[in-house]
Amino acid sequence: MGQRIDGRAVSKALLAEVAASVAKHQARGVKPTLAVVLVGDDPASAVYVRNKGKRAAEAGIATVDHRLGADTTTGELLALIRSLNDDASVDGILVQLPLPPQVDADAVLLAIDPAKDVDGFHPENLGRLMIGDPRFVACTPLGCMKLLESAGTELSGARALVIGRSTIVGKPMAQLLLAANATVTTAHSRTQDLAEEVGRADVVIAAVGRPKMIPGAWIKPGATIIDVGINRGEDGKLCGDVDFDGALERAGAITPVPGGVGPMTIACLMHNVSLAASRR
C-alpha cells in the first residue's frame, strides 16, 4: 500500500513560508500585489479567481481585480496589460485562461512584462527554464516538484515519464525533471504503447485530462505518481487521470484528486508573487 501524498498539507506549509517572506517585504515598505485579469463570465474561471484571491489574502498578498466583458478585444486587453506593466505597485500579472475566442491569447501572454509573469507562461521565462536559469516557473509543474520533494522521491537517475506535452504543464514539467537529473520521457496522444512506458517509469506525472485512463495494473511497483488531471468521472465526482484506488496498491506514493496538485498550483503562484516582489 503506497503513501498518499497530502497536497493540502504541503501547500499549507508552502503558504506559511510565503506569508513569512511577504511579511519581510512589508517590513521594508513593499506591499506585494497581484493584478488579476478576468475576461468574460466563464463560471469555472470565476471560481479559480476567487480561490486565488482567498489564498493571496492568507499570505498577505494584495490582489487587484480587473474584470472585462466577454466582448473585450485583443487591443483593449493589450492596453490594460501595458498599464499594469508600467504600474510600479503591481508585482505580478495573472491573466486567467481561457480567454474568449476573439482574443489573441498568445499576443496577450507575450505582452506581459516577463519580470511580472508570475504564471511563468511567457516565452522568455519558459526559455530561461530550458537553459537552466529559471526565474518564474509555471505553477503546476513547480507544485509537482515540491510534492515529489515532500514524498522524498529520488529523481537523480530515475526514469521519469511525463504524460502530456502542453506548454503550461507537460513541457515545463519535463524540463524540471531533466534539471533534477532524471531520465525523462514525454508521452502524448501519438505514443504507441503508453502501458509499456508507464510500466518502466519510477516517476509518473499524468497531465492529460482523461478520467482514470491509467489503471493501477500498469504501474511499476513502488513508483511515485503525481496526478495533475482534473476530470469529472462517470459518477459525477472529481477524479484524476490515474485510477487512484488501483494505483495505491502498487505505487510507493501517489497524489489524490482533489487534494493533490490543485492546492499546490495556487500556493506556487503566491510563491512567485513574493519572488517578484523581492525584485522591487
Catalytic sites, residue numbers: 52, 96, 119
For residue 61, the minimal CB distance to ligand NDP (Å) is 18
Shortest Å distance, C-beta 263 to ligand NDP: 8
Q: What is the DSSP string of 111-180?
A: HS-GGG-TT--SHHHHHHHHTT--SSPPHHHHHHHHHHHHTT---TT-EEEEE---TTTHHHHHHHHHHT
Quick note: the x/- pattern for ligand NDP over 44-63, rule CB under 6 A, is --------------------
Q: Which of 100, 191, 238, 280 binds ligand NDP (CB under 6 A)?
A: 191
187 contacts ligand NDP (rule: CB under 6 A) = yes
Q: 238 by DSSP, 3-state: which?
A: strand
The pattern of x and - marking residues 68 through 107 that bind ligand NDP according to CB under 6 A reads ----------------------------------------
Pick the closer one to ligand NDP by CB: 80 or 176.
176
Question: What number of other Cβ atoms are within 10 A of residue 159's Cβ?
Answer: 16
Does residue number 232 form part of the binding site for ligand NDP (CB under 6 A)? no
How many residues make contact with ligand NDP (CB under 6 A)? 24
Residue with cell 468574460: 40
- Grid cell 491573466 in the structure block, residue: 95
Q: What are phi and psi of 235, to 5 degrees?
A: -80, 5
Q: Residue 112 CB, nearest distance to ligand NDP (Å)?
A: 18
Alpha helices per DSSP H over the chain = 7-27, 43-59, 74-86, 105-111, 123-130, 139-150, 170-179, 194-199, 244-250, 261-277
170 binds ligand NDP (CB under 6 A): yes
Give yes or no for residue 188 binding ligand NDP (CB under 6 A). Answer: yes
Residue at grid coordinates 488531471: 229
Site membership for ligand NDP, residue 262 (CB under 6 A):
yes
